[in-house]
Chain A
């Protein structure tokens, strides 16, 4: 006789119940303006943050977006025109672009009710800059005098306070920089410069899971891999008071899934439609489709550290290659209008953007292209490879660029896919790439200096080309010492023009935000960071 069947008992761990935010399923379409309810929340497509929610520890959109809503620094950028505007700061004055006197507004509070004081900024910056706290954005503080003491190249910091930061009283403090940085105010809008409440330091790790900020929205809950819930902070003092009750960041692993939810009103606003929907989304969504410029650029960089590419005459070859690329056709066809042809190394819409600052070299001209390549002695081995990460949807345009180059110049060209982003990055930053490579820049702050100083200066952290031009450096330094942001931007335009001669990287195109929203919301506009103007979104009543 058979033995009793062995019984398997599955023990299911009790899953945390997630309070579902009811999303109204009204399907009354149209983008017509109707009454809105300022207490209702809307949902936004997001991804699970890769790091704890600490302001100086976010450098990917999943966490960065959420932190932007929970925290507010001295300044931020007006979503409608990308101009700098004062938030916690009442004023930031400088006479020499090196010492900045900050005056705070006195009525700001953190979500736990404690006031936002000078010390909250100074302590937060010191904490974030100190090596031992392992903040990914610590290098953002490197302009401040004394940064080297809290963040030496290697070894243990000698102190945990930067000498350049001095608290005067509760609403005044001074920032002293190591050198003149005329546009330092622009940097201060970056999320890493947020203030932290005193309670943060009791347990930074716990604060990273349950952040207390001073921004327009306060943290409610974080169901990992599922959603982060925020609600409007009633006592928010910023110029951008929320017109809605909060943002629910719903985690999606694919844009396709998010788009399907958006079309059925299970998601209110999304980040970027999937490539598969680019051709149809404007038809699908009608006047709920969004197509607006982004402060981001895609380039092809060259390994100037390789002897093959180091010669002065090779600049001509790079100029020629640039002229062989039919940007307008590729952006229209392969990229389906999701990009706009570049004519400079700075993205459109950024303060200091100068259209056409690439000279003729970003204009499609096969005849000139051939001529320049021949003058420059040709591409090494008459074969160009373009290294890119295969996991980022770059294959199509790389192949198209290669076709363009092959057909118009006779130079052989092929893509060199690396398995994923980290592998491609390791090869590029490790200077082991022998051919050209995909590179891009997304604005940290909407000012041209960010696209130039941080990328093309000799020894700049993101100078992956090994590019070094005394002339560019000189003009950049002059621009840094200007006495106004306007003058600084103009100075950087002159520095940008130097890149025409050397072509360390070929500008390809600017990114655009291709997105949309559900019928539950209205007044959804996107800023140049590719984020919606969060506080402006209205949820229909």
Chain B
């Protein structure tokens, strides 16, 4: 077990280098000159442009830029953005907000999605089951921004329960609505996955055995049925956590949440290499760690899976 985790952690190192290099090259190949763009509609002053290019190390070939960036990274320096703020500061401001938003969405989709999935999986063809299927289908087929605007209109403009946008991104209670919107799509997938998985396992031999042994229904469902059925769901949830953080951009924009999505969007548009690479690198690490946890959870759920 320990050696397995160590091996997986070691595997992250090449992935980390590869992904940063890829992102770096992608940002580098974006069209336009970020320094000239700072001047907006006005003509750029060549002397100042040359100076700034030198300051941001942009006057070097791309491989040198990458090595320079990596060298700084290992000294804990994520570089500076064009606003003069260090990328570390920017991330320290924005990441907590997005992490909270993503975790709230995650808990929401986990609890509600699993519940709905179990309810409809156990009673296939019943009215609640049909209801869940229809609802999740609707959610899956509506783009997230439509959902967000509908929620904003109903709960803020019409009912006045909340403010239309988040006034303080550090206040958890204000993040509830955006989190529900953000988690709704995944919730639909979780519910459907759980339903299918349970439906399959209900007919499995071990469930019949357990029922024949006269075990109480609750025990059968939680101990036997759910544990086996959760494997595909856990796989989905693991990758979804990263997706929630990276994919919060639309939701963050509509509810004006000052999280990583907004920062990343602006940085990409401004071709701000250090900020983009820094943020995406952290997101990559989140993905890697989440998938490691998922793999370890398999062993917890299914004792037959052993990591030597």
Contact = CB atoms under 8 A, between A and B. Distances in A.
Nearest to A259: B164
Contact of B299 (A2, A20, A258): A2
Summarize B's interface: helix, strand, loop or mixed.
helix
Contacts, number: 171
Interface stretch (A127-135, A333-341, A474-482, A496-504): A127-135
B300 interface: yes
Contact of B263 (A2, A225, A256): A225
Nearest to B1: A3
B41 A153 contact: no
Tell me the dominant secondary structure on chain A's binding face: loop
Contact of A50 (B51, B83, B92, B170): B83
Interface stretch (B186-194, B252-260, B274-282): B252-260
Nearest to B85: A224
Interface in B32-67: 32-34, 36-48, 50-52, 55
B24 interface: no
Most chain B CB neighbours (cut-off 10 Å) among A16, A253, A257: A253
B91 to A, nearest CB: 9
A257 B255 contact: yes
B229 to A, nearest CB: 16
A225 B254 CA distance: 15
Given A225-B93, A257-B165, A264 B32 contact: no
Interface stretch (B132-140, B155-163, B196-204, B210-218): B155-163
A70 interface: no
A151 B47 contact: yes
A48 B262 CA distance: 11
Nearest to B103: A10
Contact of B256 (A49, A205, A253): A253
Given A151-B47, A226-B169, A264-B163, A422 B34 contact: yes
Interface stretch (A113-121, A365-373, A407-415, A423-431): A423-431
B300 A136 contact: no
B266 to A, nearest CB: 8
Nearest to A461: B43
Contact of B163 (A261, A419, A420): A261
Contacts of B97: 15
B221 interface: no
B263 A260 contact: no
Interface in B268-291: 269-271
Contacts of A251: 258
Given A131-B51, A135-B48, A6 B269 contact: no
B293 interface: yes
Contacts of B34: 422
A60 B38 CA distance: 9
B31 interface: yes
Contact of A13 (B52, B95, B271, B300): B95
A422 B37 CA distance: 5
Nearest to B45: A139
A14 B100 CA distance: 12
A419 B263 CA distance: 19
A266 B100 contact: no
5 contacts: A2-B303, A18-B170, A253-B266, A420-B32, A441-B41
Given A6-B293, A13-B96, 8 more contacts: A51-B83, A131-B51, A132-B51, A257-B255, A257-B256, A264-B157, A264-B163, A420-B32
